[in-house]
Chain A
Amino acid sequence: MVDLDKYKWPILTIIIITVVLMIMIAVGFTIGILSEDPDGLERVLIDARGETWVENLPSPWEPILGWIESDYIAGIIGIILSVVLIMSAFYLITYLKKTQH
């Protein structure tokens, strides 16, 4: 097993950075500093095919995560999944390195 205590601070930093920055982003959009306009690729697609076409592109996530209707719940689940996935990758690299020695 990996000594998680040794990596306490990097792990906490990952969680804190992700949560704080996402809160800052939410606030930034709310007060209007950040832009909700489409990005470069979305702009190209909307100009060429229209907004409805872009919004109706099929997504494989739809059957799995389509039950989530609230944006807030989706955000919370997203933050949790992000932290878990990034931490898992971090843990895996650490574990693989440990098993090499």
Chain B
Amino acid sequence: MHIPDGLLDPVTTIVLWIVTIVIMFISFKKIRKSFEEEDSEKLIPYIGVLAATLFAFQFVNYPVPGGTSGHLVGGTLVGVILGPWAAVIVIFMILVVQSLFGDGGITAIGANTFNMGVICGIVGFYIVKALILILNKTNMEKQKKVTIATAIGSYVSIVLAALMAGIEIGIGGAIPMNIAVPAMVFWHLIIGIGEAIISAFIVYFIYKVKPEFITTEEMLGVK
């Protein structure tokens, strides 16, 4: 999913950097608000620890049938744990560090943050929220609602992010759009299963061990 340097054309690269910077700016504003509201003495180190964990987890490439591999992106997962705005910041931080390891390009950080932070983090979070509103009509336990919604939200957001990446690569001209988009979506329909399982497992585990670490219950509207 990490777009390398030299793949996107300059216009797409610059546009996605601008969009990402604007969303990051909004995210900082929103986060600052939540720092004032929440117990930020705990929230700040928690963001740092979560970023470090996710950074290392993104290097874990699990085998996927068909001679490919997948790894956790975690945008929706961070969105569910810390909120959609914090997810963008966390993913951006991770991508900056990863670009040092050659995993994703430095010029493509804007595009990668857009795909993995904005699509997976913000869009994924609101997919989870919509699913929870539906699941609220059942008498399922709270933790099960969030776990199921996280799994589906993570899966859908990964496929959406892959679709976006395919479009960006197609616009860049490295691969024709009619090849890039279906191929990206096809592989991520398979890879997304791993994302859904890992994200759901982590959310369920946190609920079992330290439920207060899920700071977005109110935002998600889970009952």
Contacts and interface: CB of A to CB of B under 8 A. Distances in A.
Contacts of B2: 39, 41
Given A43-B68, A44-B183, A81 B97 contact: yes
B209 to A, nearest CB: 15
A8 B40 CA distance: 16
Contacts of A37: 61, 63-64, 67-69
Nearest to B66: A43
Contacts of B25: none
B191 A39 contact: yes
Interface string A28-69: 100000111111111111011100001001111100010000
A94 B63 CA distance: 39
B5 A60 contact: yes
Nearest to A83: B52
A57 B4 contact: yes
Given A28-B60, A61-B106, A97-B35, A82 B97 contact: yes
Interface in A1-48: 7, 9-11, 13-14, 17-18, 21-22, 25, 28, 34-45, 47-48
> Would you call the interface of chain A mostly helix, strand, loop, or mixed?
helix
B22 interface: no
26 contacts: A10-B45, A14-B49, A18-B55, A21-B59, A25-B59, A25-B60, A28-B60, A35-B69, A38-B67, A40-B1, A40-B64, A40-B68, A40-B187, A41-B2, A43-B66, A43-B183, A44-B184, A44-B187, A45-B175, A54-B4, A57-B4, A78-B100, A82-B97, A89-B51, A90-B45, A93-B47
Interface of B: 1-7, 35, 40, 44-49, 51-53, 55-57, 59-64, 66-71, 93, 96-97, 99-102, 105-107, 162, 165-166, 169, 174-175, 179-180, 183-184, 187-188, 191
Given A10-B44, A40-B68, A86-B51, 12 more contacts: A10-B49, A17-B49, A21-B56, A34-B62, A35-B64, A38-B68, A40-B184, A40-B188, A42-B68, A60-B106, A61-B99, A89-B93
